[in-house]
Structure 1
Amino acid sequence: MLPFIIRRLLGAAVTLLIIAAVTFFLFFMVPGDVARLSCGKVCPPELLEQARHNLGLDKPVVVQFVTWLAGIFVGRDYEGLGHCPAPCLGYSFVNRAPVFETILDRLPLTVSLTIGAAVIFFTFGVATGIIAALRQGKPLDKIASVSSLIGASVQIYFIGTLALYFLVYQNQIFARPKYVPLTEDPIAWMTGLLLPWLVLSIIFTANYTRMTRSTMVEQLGEDYVRTARAKGMSGRSVVLRFAMRGTLTPIITILGVDLGTLIGGAIITETTFGLQGLGQLSIRAVTNSDLPMLMATVLVAAGAIVIFNIIVDILYAVIDPRVRLG
Structure 2
Amino acid sequence: MLRFLVRRLLGVAAILLVVSLITFYLFFAASGEDSVVRLSCGKNCTPEMRETVRHNLGLTKPLLEQYWIFISGIFAGRNIGEKTCNFPCLGYSFANNQNVSHTVADRFPTTVSLAIGAVVLFMTLGIGLGILAAMRRGKKTDKVATGFALLSGSAPIYVLGPLFIYLFVQQLGWMDRPQYHQFTDDPFQWASGLLLPWICLMTIHMAMYVRLTRSTMVDVLSEDYVRTLKAKGLSGRSVYIKHAFRGALSPIVTVLGVDIGVLMSGTIITESTFSLHGIGMLAVTSVTDSDLPMMMGVVVIAASFTMLANLVVDLLYAVIDPRVRLS
Q: What TM-score do you get using the length of structure 1 for normalisation?
A: 0.96
- What's the offset of the Cα at 1:49? 2.2
SS at match of 1:77: strand
One-letter identity of the residue aligned with 2:96: N
- 1:33 maps to 35
In 2, distance between residues paired with 1:214 and 1:17?
38
- Pairing 1:265-280 to 2, within 5 Å after superposition: 265-280=266-281
In 1, distance between residues paired with 2:278 and 2:80?
27
Contact 1:4–1:324 (8 Å) recurs in 2: no
- Pairing 1:237-316 to 2, within 5 Å after superposition: 237-316=238-317
2:227 paired with 1:229: no
User: Which deviations, in whole Å up to 9, do the C-alpha atoms of 1:234-289 show, x marking residues without a partner?
Assistant: 32222223211221100001101101101111111111111111111000111111
- What's the offset of the Cα at 1:78? 1.2
User: Which deviations, in whole Å up to 9, do the C-alpha atoms of 1:85-125 show, x marking residues without a partner?
Assistant: 11100000001011000000000000000011000001110
SS at match of 1:323: coil
SS at match of 1:322: coil
- Pairing 1:159-170 to 2, within 5 Å after superposition: 159-170=160-171
In 2, distance between residues paired with 1:315 and 1:39?
48
One-letter identity of the residue aligned with 2:23: T
One-letter identity of the residue aligned with 2:52: Q
- What's the offset of the Cα at 1:325? 4.2
- What's the offset of the Cα at 1:83? 0.7
Contact 1:182–1:189 (8 Å) recurs in 2: yes
Shift of the 35–243 alpha-carbon distance from structure 1 to 2, 3 Å rule, reads same
One-letter identity of the residue aligned with 1:132: A
In 1, distance between residues paired with 2:258 and 2:244?
23
In 2, distance between residues paired with 1:225 and 1:41?
71
- 1:53 maps to 55
In 1, distance between residues paired with 2:323 and 2:12?
21
Identity of aligned residues (%): 53
Contact 1:179–1:193 (8 Å) recurs in 2: yes
One-letter identity of the residue aligned with 1:71: G
- 1:6 maps to 6
- What's the offset of the Cα at 1:324? 3.5
In 2, distance between residues paired with 1:35 and 1:14?
30
One-letter identity of the residue aligned with 1:120: L
Structure 1 range deviating more: 236-245 or 107-116: 236-245
2:216 paired with 1:215: yes
In 2, distance between residues paired with 1:324 and 1:290?
45
- Pairing 1:97-246 to 2, within 5 Å after superposition: 97-246=98-247
One-letter identity of the residue aligned with 2:290: S
Structure 1 range deviating more: 316-325 or 82-91: 316-325
Structure 1 range deviating more: 47-56 or 249-258: 47-56
Q: How many residues align?
A: 325
Uncovered stretches (5+) of structure 2, i.e. residues with no partner: none
SS at match of 1:92: coil
In 1, distance between residues paired with 2:177 and 2:228?
54
In 2, distance between residues paired with 1:239 and 1:136?
13
- 1:64 maps to 66
- What's the offset of the Cα at 1:127? 0.7
User: Which deviations, in whole Å up to 9, do the C-alpha atoms of 1:38-83 show, x marking residues without a partner?
Assistant: 1113322332222111100111110011111111111111114x11
Contact 1:149–1:206 (8 Å) recurs in 2: yes
Q: What TM-score do you get using the length of structure 2 for normalisation?
A: 0.96
